[in-house]
Structure 1
Amino acid sequence: MMKAFLEGNGQFVVDVYRTQYTWRGDKWLEQYPANDGREHQSMSQAKTDPSFSPDFAQYDVVISNFGWKAAPWPPATQRKFEQYMQNGGGFVSVHAANNAFPNWLEYNKMIGLGGWGGRNQKDGPYIYYNDDGELQRDMSAGQGGGHGYIHEFTIQVRHATHPIMQGLPSNWLHSKDELYNRLRGPAENLTVLASAYDNKKYNGYGRHEPMIMTIDYHQGRVFHTTLGHGEAVYSDPTFMSILAKGVTWAAGTNHEGLR
């Protein structure tokens, strides 16, 4: 869906890379075949694909939705991606990508905040807004990551002058989605662009959680959104507009033909 949308606006050229092994992916492998000439297998347990090694350097930006319980990338691929980012690459973390790779230190620095996978106070502070609109860095003990019931919720802009946020209303009603709470991590060079109130009515945590953010990682730029659970969200024009702007920002350029 992201590939079709991004290429549909004429600004992007998108290649898709998939590991040979997909955890519990029977339905998805059939519905979204890779058509890359490789044999792909659905696995009952996550398994690292030793051959997974995209040439990151040929791309302006990398988008990931490797998610919960994703198998680690091969160490050499991790180092190659770190070098790509440190040298000025762009990265976009969508929804459950912040669940992935809890033991990869540099990845956690890239995404700024993450959840699940055993993340806790050792990984960094909780980041959220209090009711006075003050950003909190909370080092209290506790697990990282959670969400209540899927529901519509209001997004509140926190950084209206940022290029990704320009042209948006100060708040808007977002499609039914998971509202991630209690994310924590290094949160270095992180700017929260928008947040949402995690209402206890929907089994939430009762505070204002970051939904859209950017992270400066060495010379690289990261756009991170916690939004994006389920196909319906990808029919939401506001979300898709923000995603496209975030990809463009992370790439560091506005020219046509981005890869």
Structure 2
Amino acid sequence: MKNIKNAVITCFAFINLVAFAQSNPDKIEVLIIDGFSNHDWKQTTLMVTSILEKTGLFNVSVSTAPSQPEDATWDTWNPAFENYAVVIQNTNNIDMKNTKWPKRVEERLENYVASSGGLYVLHSANNAFPHWDAYNDMIGLGWRSPAEGVALQVADNGKIKEIPVGEGKGTYHGPRNDEIIQILNNHPINEGFPKTWKTPDMELYKYARGPAKNLKVLSYATEMETNINWPVEWVVAYGKGRVYNSSMGHLWRGETYPVSYRCVGFQTTLIRATEWLATGKTTYKVPENFPTETDIKLVAVD
């Protein structure tokens, strides 16, 4: 445990140094938006930054939003989305509904993505902002009530089954499990992946809901109690831009670099999804120690 704590402290120091470093024009510029969530958003930002930057493909910056609605710094919080190839959304107001981005920032993100920007919706970020119609269109599916959109299931023949608005349940998940990810549609993100692979300690969202427009499901997992197949990853076309959304990447309060973030499969997916959002392709190679259907593969804390 002492080594893990030291690793996290080292990671904090590393990211602070990165904030002052000059950008490398040969790298993909990535901006993480954080500041409030019911999850451990600070450590999530640290882990995502470390995973991405160790590849040498990315420069990662962070813009931390105020967390309280009455905070005066909302007036000056204005992230420059246009300076980045990818924005990673790591805020979630599900337990603090009065905390919202200013309308002007919402509109700037909409314009950024529609004009060919890349948006990564990181785990619980799809719980956020049900009031924001364009955000619902961008994320495709999120943590929503039955009245707030359709839900999707994957039939055993690979066809998508749509559950209409008002039917079925609102979004929920059961206990975290080791889930077998099953590829549904081939895509640059999962090119070279095994058809099925196992990831640890994941929340499988059931009845994720939304407009589901211009959406392609990349993978799914099977709820063992019911044998229902629920989407795990999906991509959305929004204007000229690209959006990636997934329930992978859970990091709860009190955890320290959990196995879900040490999973080689999750890390590879995070890296390749971010690269695809920026360029429309992937160059990061699938590691030889990528998970299989039966074997989870973890990497040690640096």
Measured against the shorter chain, the TM-score band is 0.7 to 0.9
State the partner residue of 1:92: 120
DSSP-derived class of the 1:103 partner = coil
Name the CA distance, whole Å, in 1 between partners of 2:149 and 2:206. 15
Q: Indicate which of 37, 56, 80 corresponds to 1:10.
A: 56
State the partner residue of 1:217: 238
How far did residue 89 of structure 1 move?
0.5
Q: Indicate which of 219, 222, 231 corresponds to 1:197.
A: 222
Aligned amino acid, residue 96 of structure 1: S
Map 1:70-149 to 2 at 5 A: 71-116=99-144, 119-121=145-147, 123-139=148-164, 140-149=166-175
Name the CA distance, whole Å, in 2 between partners of 1:179 and 1:51. 37
Name the CA distance, whole Å, in 2 between partners of 1:212 and 1:50. 35
Verify: 1:243 aligned to 2:270, yes or no.
yes
CA shift digits 1:128-166 (9 cap, x unpaired): 112333211110424431000111011100012x10110
Name the CA distance, whole Å, in 1 between partners of 2:176 and 2:128. 21
Question: What's the TM-score, normalizing by structure 2?
Answer: 0.70
Aligned in 2, Cα 1:17/1:195: closer, same or farther, shift over 3 Å? same
How far did residue 187 of structure 1 move?
0.5
State the partner residue of 1:252: 279
DSSP-derived class of the 2:62 partner = coil
Higher mean C-alpha displacement, 97-106 vs 60-69: 60-69
Name the CA distance, whole Å, in 1 between partners of 2:282 and 2:172. 38
Aligned amino acid, residue 120 of structure 1: P
Pairwise CA RMSD: 2.0
Name the CA distance, whole Å, in 1 between partners of 2:263 and 2:271. 12
Name the CA distance, whole Å, in 2 between partners of 1:61 and 1:181. 27
Aligned amino acid, residue 103 of structure 2: P
CA contact (8 A) 1:181 1:209 kept: yes
Name the CA distance, whole Å, in 2 between partners of 1:159 and 1:255. 16
CA contact (8 A) 2:152 2:209 kept: yes
CA contact (8 A) 1:221 1:252 kept: no
DSSP-derived class of the 1:78 partner = helix
State the partner residue of 2:78: 53
State the partner residue of 2:247: 226
Aligned amino acid, residue 183 of structure 1: A
